[in-house]
A = this chain, B = another copy of it.
């Protein structure tokens, strides 16, 4: 039932069948339609979400009232508002399905329990969090180190399929420019 997650975990640590069953008892599966909200500003973030299929995005509304997308999660990535999830306080972020999305969720009241029952999972999440933190360090630099056009070309070079997959306005906000500017760059590419 949670095969995609077991496969991902087994890239990093070996979970045997018994351990997979224990883990399964702590998890839930959900499906979200495109544009559905998993979290809205002011709500408490209930879970940490592993994407089986589809795409989630984390965003907030900035001081000018504009959506700022700060993270995407596609297949095999985890996404949550970590502060709201860990402390169970109202979130300042939104989590939205950018496509029809299937997730596996570990809810807050099971999260600490998971590490208690399955200490092996500490290593898996330590390695996942390292990847998350690497991505955060690099994105901040990326946004300040290139022109908007260079950012688009670089990102498109790294993740061409992803760029085709998601709505332009979400990509634009992730790369730090307006949707209009993105249309111009794409038009240039064609001619």
Chain A interface residue count, Cβ-Cβ cutoff 8 angstroms: 33
A80 to chain B, nearest CB (A): 9
**Are B70 and A137 touching (Cβ within 8 A)?**
yes
**Are A137 and B62 touching (Cβ within 8 A)?**
no
**Are B82 and A133 touching (Cβ within 8 A)?**
yes
Which of A100-108, A144-152, A153-161 is near enough to bind chain B? A144-152
- Which B residues are CB-close (under 8 A) to A146? 63
Q: A63-B144, A70-B141, A86-B134 are in contact. List 6 more A-B contacts (CB 8 A).
A: A62-B145, A63-B147, A68-B144, A70-B140, A82-B134, A122-B123
- Which B residues are CB-close (under 8 A) to A145? 60, 62-63, 92
A150 to chain B, nearest CB (A): 9
**C-alpha gap A60/B136 in the complex (Å):** 14
Does A129 touch B at the CB level, under 8 Å?
yes
